[in-house]
Structure 1
């Protein structure tokens, strides 16, 4: 199958791209601006499976016009897209009393408007094929976290959006589900995750030594929903090691 993955040049998105390639799929992925990172993922994919079709597209998912243009390019290059994975996201942490309009709107534009634009762009081709898999990547902070009102609102909205998609298009052979990651070992968590958050996770996560998840473990869940979970629709799937809340 052909995948389209947003936020595919780093972190969770990159892990999903590479695992999809390893499983035999071709992948188009979107990245915001880091051309070097995108080329690196393309090269890693080629090393994993020589001959795989993998291509990155520069895209700010908050721009509706660009999403439409890139979707057309992808469908021209790959002929079809069966699986859409919305992974692109940003975080602008601040307390509500101090949060600016820009901090609020930027996060909602990327994390919630973006998935809407992407899904809307690919739905016509899925409807024509009467088949599609939509997987939206959320966060354990969807239920709220201090300093994360904008981020939590965007992820909570993503859950409602996904469940509406499931009800609208399940009868057309298109499923939509949400995956909720806990803390995973990525560049972002290694570089920017506060030590207090790491300590909390290690203390309370009911896994050996309170370990973080691996990208392969998360990607396996996404791939199952895309290729094997044909009767799973409108669900919120936690991949959290058993710790489903944050402090």
Structure 2
């Protein structure tokens, strides 16, 4: 890699929400980006078109991927490495939330959330680790949530997000000696499609009332934190969970 080459970021779930905000911010800040989507092909194409105007020097490519399919993850990883020659940072961001009290959660709902939010990120990390190890440098950033501490009606989601912290600390210990850092960002409530679709008005009111900042987070604030954690400047941060919560420390 030449000194002037743009670093390459891989993001799952990049067509909307947190993933889209990160793709946009990274492209503007000098990254080339490969991202995936599971169903929103039109949104993915729209994002690429948008970035051709706002970040014309960036190379942005997208792939359709269900992260629950390990063979598909491996195929996409191979395609990405073929298209970009390397990957410098991996952010398995794709996630899903299905509300429901524990007694009413079906096997299918539980499996869908765990497989998407926890097993999927493991597949993604595993697929790219050989590349990162071969270069003896890289960044992995997992996207958890303050809900990892537990919340009513969120047993599957909370479990999946707590599991990411254990995964990250394990990878940090295994691959830190190879020059690879693995960290976690744990957001509180941000303005995204998921929060608009799944948060009750009462929970929005709670977040606005009890968060010391008296508001939901803005996605550009979260994206900036994530960009720092995958940058060279964060080279000695490893195995950490960084809360981006506005000070909110409890959820009902």
Place the TM-score, normalised by the shorter chain, in its bin. over 0.9
Q: TM-score, normalised by structure 2?
A: 0.95
Q: TM-score, normalised on structure 1?
A: 0.97
CA contact (8 A) 1:238 1:244 kept: no
Unaligned runs of 5+ in 2: 1-6
Distance 2:191 2:156 in 1: 24
- 1:239 corresponds to which residue? 244
Q: Deviations over 1:141-175 (max 9, x none)?
A: 10111111111110111000000000000010000
Q: Provide, for residues 58-101 of structure 1, a one-character-per-residue CA deviation record: whole Å limited to 9, x for no partner.
A: 00001000000000000000110010011100112111111111
C-alpha distance in 1, partners of 2:153/2:217?
Answer: 24
- The answer to whether the 8 A contact 2:8-2:86 is kept is yes
Question: 2: CA distance between counterparts of 1:172 and 1:150?
Answer: 33
CA contact (8 A) 2:99 2:198 kept: no
Residue 223 of structure 1 deviates from its aligned partner by: 0.7
Residue 158 (structure 2) pairs with residue 146 (structure 1): no
- Tell me, what secondary structure is at the counterpart of 2:172? helix
Residue 151 of structure 1 aligns to a residue whose secondary structure is helix
SS of 2:246 mapped into structure 1: coil
2:135 corresponds to which residue?
129
Distance 2:67 2:197 in 1: 24
Bigger CA drift: 38-47 or 126-135? 38-47
Q: What's the CA shift string for 1:162-221, capped at 9, x where partnerless?
A: 0000000001000000000111112332344210011001110101xx111111110111
| Counterpart Cα distance in 1 of 2:166 and 2:248 | 22
Residue number among 230, 234, 242 corresponding to 1:229 in the alignment = 234
**1:30 maps onto 2:36 in alignment:** yes
Deviation of 1:113 (Å): 0.5
For residue 87 of structure 1, give the secondary structure of its aligned residue in structure 2: coil
Which residue in 2 is equivalent to 1:112?
118
Partner of 1:13: 19
- Number of equivalent positions: 245
Aligned residue runs from structure 1 range 1-247, under 5 A: 1-207=7-213, 210-227=214-231, 228-247=233-252
Structure 1 unaligned blocks of 5 or more: none
DSSP-derived class of the 1:217 partner: helix
Q: Hey, what does 2:3 align to over in structure 1?
A: none
Which secondary structure does the structure 1 equivalent of 2:230 belong to?
Answer: helix
Cα deviation for residue 244 of structure 1 reads: 2.4
C-alpha RMSD of matched pairs (Å): 0.9
In 2, distance between residues paired with 1:105 and 1:193? Answer: 21
